[in-house]
Amino acid sequence: MQPAVYLFVLCLIAESWSLKCWDCRSDSDPKCADPFDNSTVPIKDCRQEPDLPHLPGVRPTMCRKIRQKVHGQWRYFRSCAYLGQPGIAGDERFCLMRTGTYNIFMEYCTCNSKDGCNTGALPSLNWPTLLFVSGLAIAVTWSSSFVL
């Protein structure tokens, strides 16, 4: 290949790794909560984020938004995300939900479709997608029951 072509391909790869995410937590900035107000919240380039101490070499490739209800109080966190897949079954409109003990509820959303995608402004759901994803969830549960 020509050096110019190499350079072009390298730029494409570098570009695909560039992602910016909103970075805040609602306990220090109330604007981090929903509805999200980006006026004072910094946006971070995930390429500039350090490796996590417990995940050496793992780079953040997504944005995330976490919504937690602990003892009746909502907390929001937005940042770059290191692990997992964007969205659920590739659909960023869906988030992981967890209910724990002690009145704890957590919603975990990931995305990488565009810079600052962790606003949490959900586009309206449509029924075919909802049916498809719930069908997929059922199929996954059903097939994993044979593995266990």
Ligand X SMILES: *[C@@H]1O[C@H](CO)[C@@H](O)[C@H](O)[C@H]1NC(C)=O
Instruction: Point out which residues bind ligand X (CB under 6 A).
Output: 38, 116
Residue 68 or 116: which CB sits closer to ligand X? 116
Name the 3-class secondary structure at 99: strand
End-to-end CA distance of the chain: 49
Phi/psi at 80 (5° precision): -75, 155
Query: Residue with the closest Cβ to ligand X?
Result: 38
Residue 79 or 88: which CB sits closer to ligand X? 79
Q: Which two tokens stand for residue 37?
A: 């107000």
Rounded-to-10 torsion of CA 38, 28, 80, 135: -80
- 9 forms beta bridges with none
Give the up-direction half-sphere exposure of residue 30: CA atoms within 13 A in the CB hemisphere. Answer: 1
Work out how close the CB of 39 gets to ligand X at its nearest, in angstroms, rounded to a whole number.
7
Residue 98 or 114: which CB sits closer to ligand X? 114
Work out how close the CB of 56 gets to ligand X at its nearest, in angstroms, rounded to a whole number.
31
Residue 39 or 101: which CB sits closer to ligand X? 39
Residue 46 or 88: which CB sits closer to ligand X? 46
- Number of C-beta neighbours around residue 106 at 10 A: 16
Work out how close the CB of 4 gets to ligand X at its nearest, in angstroms, rounded to a whole number.
33
Edge-to-edge strand order for the sheet containing 104-111? 24-25, 73-81, 62-70, 104-111, 96-100
